[in-house]
Structure 1
Amino acid sequence: MEASSLPYHEPSIVQVLTLSSFGLLLNLTNWALERTIYCGLVGQILIGVFWGTPLGDWLDSSIEAAVVQLGYLGLILLVVAALGTSTSSDSGGSSISGATIGRPVGASLGLLLFVILACRWLVAPLHRHRHRSLRPGPTPTPTPANPPAEAARPALSAANRAFTIHTALLLTLVTTASYAGTSVLLAAFLAGAAITWSDNLSPTTTTTTTTAWTGARIYEHYYAPITTRLLTPFFFASIGFSIPITQLFAGSTVWRGIVYAALMALGKLLTGVWLLRFRVPGPKSLYPPSILGLAMIARGEIGFLIASVAEARGIFSPAPGGAEGSSELYLVVIWATVVCTVLGPVCVGLLVRRVKALERERTVDRQTYS
């Protein structure tokens, strides 16, 4: 017989201490590594490895499942806030049919087209009508026979109204994308793009820019506190739950991961070549192209997410069902992603420090000679 309610049981002191240390260390590790090697997400992933199933197994499976679900909310909000990269992963069995590929692609294009048309022919006219209706008209001079009327207070404040609209848009697009078979992250990207686009429709006066509740301001006010301190750390910790740390240090896995990381880094470094101007006479600075290329190396959360989803769906396995344990290809990808995620921010940080030091030296020299 199914229970009609969930009985309340007081957690033990061990569970309280485990969860407390888990939450605190996720934030402390992120703070420490961001200040030193600029890749706090790697520390949060390692906390997930040590506290979760791969190593410590100190968290119950039900708690890990809750962390995974809450962490995915954090990823969605990260994509909305940063207009981040959207990804779509789909897997089949031993063969991939045309419908398996065509449905998510068609649904993605359809969702993209729908959002563009809705913004152009629905949101823009409503936005213009709203601003015309809010434009103040001539105010009659108050007299004893015609006292000034008190303005009616709206049911929702401007901040709450914007928060409701933005949240409703995000949930609508995410739900539509999920049932249509396309990427939820694509829907989150489109929601963030639509919100940013609608913000640009507003008049760019000093008053509106300082008081208007834009998408960025709504995110910072409502979403950022819980996303930064709880949901995003949970997402990176959930990635750590899926990394088999005990299988990562086999000899063949290590050297293949390092070689793959070198190839990945080289491919991204080439993006900085476009900043080199060979036709410009005089000495050429290698700092701008180096910073651009190194900044592209870090794979970050999307790399771990794609690898984990692909492994869970059997894409890395040589046959449906695969062998016991994680596939070697998945371990190689994890190695390469970790190396690139650590190497990129560290190198960029060192170069930026060097550039700032050179700028300070030039400033001192100019002041000395002047």
Structure 2
Amino acid sequence: MSSTEAAALAYHEPSILTILIQSSFLILLNTLNWALDALLYCGLIGQIFIGIAYGTPGGRLLDLEVEHVVVQLGYLGLILLVFEGGLTTSFPSLKANIWLSLGVAVTGIAAPIGLSFILGSLAGATNLRCFAAGAALCSTSLGTTLAVLRASGLSATRLGVVLTSAAMLDDVVGLVMVQVISNLGNTGDESVSAVTVVRPILVSVGFVVVAGVVCWLVVKRGTELINSWRLCDGRVDRVLRKNETALVVHTFLLVGLVAGASYAGTSNLFAAYTAGAVISWWDSEVSLGIRKRVEKTAGSATEQPRESGSTESTRNGGTGTHVFERYYAPALKWVLQPFFFASIGFSIPITRMFSGTVVWKGVVYAVLMMIGKLLCGLWLVRFPGGAMVLFRSMMKNRALDKSQSAREGSDQTPSEASQADIATPAPTAAEPATGTKGVVTAQGQQSGQSGVGTRNTTPCPAKPLSLYPAAILGLAMVPRGEIGFLISSIAQSQGVFGAGESEIFLIATWAIVLCTLIGPLCVGLLVRRVKALESKAGPSARQEVLGVWGVQSSPSPVEK
């Protein structure tokens, strides 16, 4: 250590002006977020505007050092947001609707990227810059989508399951795009190298494959061994049932995967999503394993309540979502998440966005990006003839075979069984309802959101009669939000969009802002229209307006 280096940081009391600026910054971030969430379901826009006003683009009220700290803490918030998305992954629902969700996700990725090459003639952009802009606009704001679904009451519907799954898949691709764009910027070349694009994708796929193999061969067998110890030793059971134990395990897994992914060359955000998905899968395996062992080993009436209580505690306390809500969520909601969206605002050159031809080009590009996501709704539109009929016929025959084998010995005819499957069957004891949190409760339903039942896990449902589900699906995919801003900002900072504050970056920023604002507003208006139609015609109107796509396992507010 040199003689000029300080042995410790000299403590100085901050001035009252600094206290007032920073406290008002944090208060306004949360106040405006609450207000816009209540009105437009897009509170993140307000936080971005606060970042613009307080940061370098606006009034420069915050010191540059403070802005750097906000950026660093905000990135921790982004990691936790993606981690939460992995925790809420519903594997049964995702499996039942995987092909439709994949179709929606691929459409939502390919269409914006393809339409972005219009920037070549619109703004004279190179192919690399067009691809970078399309990568920023191919993602879907999962946070905004979930907020819209909760507010509209569609979270527990099949439409909500497909929409959430597709948005998650889009975000996963967007997270991979973060690393791709970063690599493109580091090459310093205007051409798109196949190795530069493919490498992080292959590393990400390999990361998932390795994680899946480890979970299946190591974690699953280790879970069975731990469960046997818990049933034999009450002390082990008490320690492992503590929320603090789960917190330590989840934190080590999250940090370990994030660090490993960074060194491996893939996105650490993608690793955070994988960590959440692994915990969600592990929760369901632990719950199921303990329940089976309790059923086998519970031989006396005195031991049964103790084991049942242990099972119930394991399923509800100590799960990934429970630990997240108790320990991570408060800091994420009130500090880290607002800091992340504010840090995005720091990088938006708002004073340059209203100059020259940027405005009309940004509006035109935003319209194209809205159309790119609206095309996702075509998957729920009835088209006579063509390949879709053949595909639906194949899936329907497959569903018929499964329903016939599952109902052997029943009084139903094959046609009645198939119709009962394709419609909205009620959960039975043999087929417990499953939700979106991946944890089965004693009543046969998952904890968390109030039950996406077997209605949402039955393959090949009938397409809706009206265009409302297709319109809601397409418009709910329109908001870009956090991932779009992140990719665009990285492309700008890495020089992919060109030196300085390039026109392409400003055009992409216009598109992200307008899409994130208009999408939730239009979905809210459509949902109000649907609920008005249902309230006038009664519960039977649901079959004509949303069909099986609007059926919930629990009664909706309208039905109540």
Secondary structure, aligned partner of 1:316: coil
Equivalent residue number for residue 51 of structure 2: 48
Find out whether 1:315 has 2:410 as its counterpart: no
Equivalent residue number for residue 133 of structure 1: 229
Please give the alpha-carbon distance, in whole angstroms, between the structure 1 residues aligned to 2:237 and 2:464. Answer: 64
Please give the alpha-carbon distance, in whole angstroms, between the structure 2 residues aligned to 1:288 and 1:98. Answer: 38
Equivalent residue number for residue 27 of structure 2: 24
Letter in 1 for 2:358: T
* Structural mapping, 1:173-252, within 5 Å: 173-204=257-288, 207=312, 211-252=316-357
* Structural mapping, 1:280-295, within 5 Å: 284-295=465-476
Alpha-carbon offset, residue 306 of structure 1? 0.4
Q: Is the 8 A contact 2:382 2:463 kept in 1?
A: no
Please give the alpha-carbon distance, in whole angstroms, between the structure 1 residues aligned to 2:380 and 2:5. Answer: 65
Q: Structure 1 residues 361, 129: closer, same or farther in 2, change over 3 A?
A: same
Kindly provide the CA deviation profile for residues 123-168 of structure 1, in whole angstroms up to 9, marking residues without a partner as x.
000111111222369xxxxxxxxxxxx9689567621111111100
Please give the alpha-carbon distance, in whole angstroms, between the structure 1 residues aligned to 2:505 and 2:324. Answer: 35
Q: Is the 8 A contact 1:49 1:237 kept in 2?
A: yes
Q: Structure 1 residues 348, 7: closer, same or farther in 2, change over 3 A?
A: same
Letter in 2 for 1:356: K
Unaligned runs of at least 5 residues, structure 2: 87-167, 292-310, 390-461, 542-560
Please give the alpha-carbon distance, in whole angstroms, between the structure 2 residues aligned to 1:69 and 1:303. Answer: 18
How many matched pairs?
Answer: 348
Equivalent residue number for residue 533 of structure 2: 358
Secondary structure, aligned partner of 1:185: helix
Equivalent residue number for residue 297 of structure 1: 478
TM-score, normalization: structure 1?
A: 0.87
Secondary structure, aligned partner of 2:58: coil
Alpha-carbon offset, residue 276 of structure 1? 1.7
Equivalent residue number for residue 244 of structure 2: 160
TM-score, normalization: structure 2?
A: 0.59
Kindly provide the CA deviation profile for residues 35-72 of structure 1, in whole angstroms up to 9, marking residues without a partner as x.
11111111100000000000100000110000000000
Q: Is the 8 A contact 1:39 1:342 kept in 2?
A: yes
Kindly provide the CA deviation profile for residues 222-253 of structure 1, in whole angstroms up to 9, marking residues without a partner as x.
10000011101000000000000100002411
Alpha-carbon offset, residue 23 of structure 1? 0.1
* Structural mapping, 1:2-13, within 5 Å: 2-13=5-16
Find out whether 1:259 has 2:364 as its counterpart: yes
* Structural mapping, 1:258-277, within 5 Å: 258-277=363-382
Equivalent residue number for residue 118 of structure 1: 214
Please give the alpha-carbon distance, in whole angstroms, between the structure 1 residues aligned to 2:229 and 2:76. Answer: 36
The more displaced of 9-18 and 156-165 is 156-165
Identity %, equivalent residues: 50
Please give the alpha-carbon distance, in whole angstroms, between the structure 1 residues aligned to 2:16 and 2:269. Answer: 38
Q: Structure 1 residues 203, 25: closer, same or farther in 2, change over 3 A?
A: same
Please give the alpha-carbon distance, in whole angstroms, between the structure 1 residues aligned to 2:29 and 2:222. Answer: 44
Equivalent residue number for residue 189 of structure 2: 94
Q: Structure 1 residues 102, 269: closer, same or farther in 2, change over 3 A?
A: closer
Alpha-carbon offset, residue 193 of structure 1? 1.2
Please give the alpha-carbon distance, in whole angstroms, between the structure 1 residues aligned to 2:53 and 2:328. Answer: 28
Secondary structure, aligned partner of 1:249: coil
Kindly provide the CA deviation profile for residues 101-130 of structure 1, in whole angstroms up to 9, marking residues without a partner as x.
455344323322221111111100011111
Letter in 2 for 1:179: Y
Q: Structure 1 residues 132, 54: closer, same or farther in 2, change over 3 A?
A: same
Q: Structure 1 residues 198, 155: closer, same or farther in 2, change over 3 A?
A: closer
The Cα RMSD (Å) is: 2.5
Equivalent residue number for residue 142 of structure 1: none
Please give the alpha-carbon distance, in whole angstroms, between the structure 1 residues aligned to 2:240 and 2:315. Answer: 20
Equivalent residue number for residue 38 of structure 1: 41
Letter in 2 for 1:353: R
